[in-house]
Amino acid sequence: MFKRLSSLALIASLSFAAIPAMAQQLSLNQISQYMNGLQTAQGGFTQINADGTLSTGQIYIKRPGRIRFEYNAPDNSLVMAGGGQVAIFDPKSNNGPDRYPLNQTPLKIILERNVNFGQARMVTGHTSDGTTTTVTAQDPDHPEYGNIQMVFTANPTELRQWIVTDDVGSQTTVILNDMVAGGSIGEIKFNITSEMAKWNN
């Protein structure tokens, strides 16, 4: 669904250059509470592409169930979730967006109304390197849909990046930057039907 991961070294250098050393491991309960308190957020993101190049853009999150990735030039594509669907808009295509059920993608896990990483069979990995806490989670009823690996820092708790592995094993890394939590984000940013009308004009 997204472009595949390529450069782990580059991810590390982009993600953690400004993170202070030695932070405590966050508990699953702390991370669940943080995610449930994160109602809206917006900022920038960097994505690692399959050929080793980077894509950048703006991200908007409105939980539950809504997210929007606006890719900068030369990509100029758009990925958005709203109304239970994920839509991928490609400016090179004349066939309209590709659409998928949100509940069949790992993004569903962080966009749920009630995030509970203590749920049985949801978390498959929970580690700390002394600087960050990494949690890997899946839909416990449908592990075949893939998983999402999230990296958090502490004091204050913040989501810094994630790696989505989809149902065919493709991986996408999204590194968040300059994220601002809270504030109002209009529903129109997550309205797939409205966005289709704009792209068709």
pLDDT of residue 122: 96
- Model confidence band, residue 23 (pLDDT cutoffs 50, 70, 90): low
Is residue 101, in this structure, part of any structural domain at all? yes
Our count of domains for the chain comes to 1
CATH of the domain at 157: 2.50.20.10
Neighbouring residues of 94: CB distance < 8 A, sequence distance ≥ 6? none
Is residue 123, in this structure, part of any structural domain at all? yes
User: pLDDT tens digits for 137-146?
Assistant: 999 999 999 9
Return the structure tokens found at 187. 């529903």
Where do we find the tokens 């209009």?
186
**Domain assignment of residue 188, given as a range:** 8-14+23-200
What region does 42 belong to: left with phi over 0, alpha with psi -120 to 50, or beta? beta
Is residue 68, in this structure, part of any structural domain at all? yes
Is residue 168, in this structure, part of any structural domain at all? yes
The Cα–Cα gap between 113 and 66 comes to 11
Is residue 2, in this structure, part of any structural domain at all? no
- Model confidence band, residue 115 (pLDDT cutoffs 50, 70, 90): very high
pLDDT of residue 179: 93
DSSP letter at 1 equals -
Nearest to 108 by CA among 72, 75, 138: 138
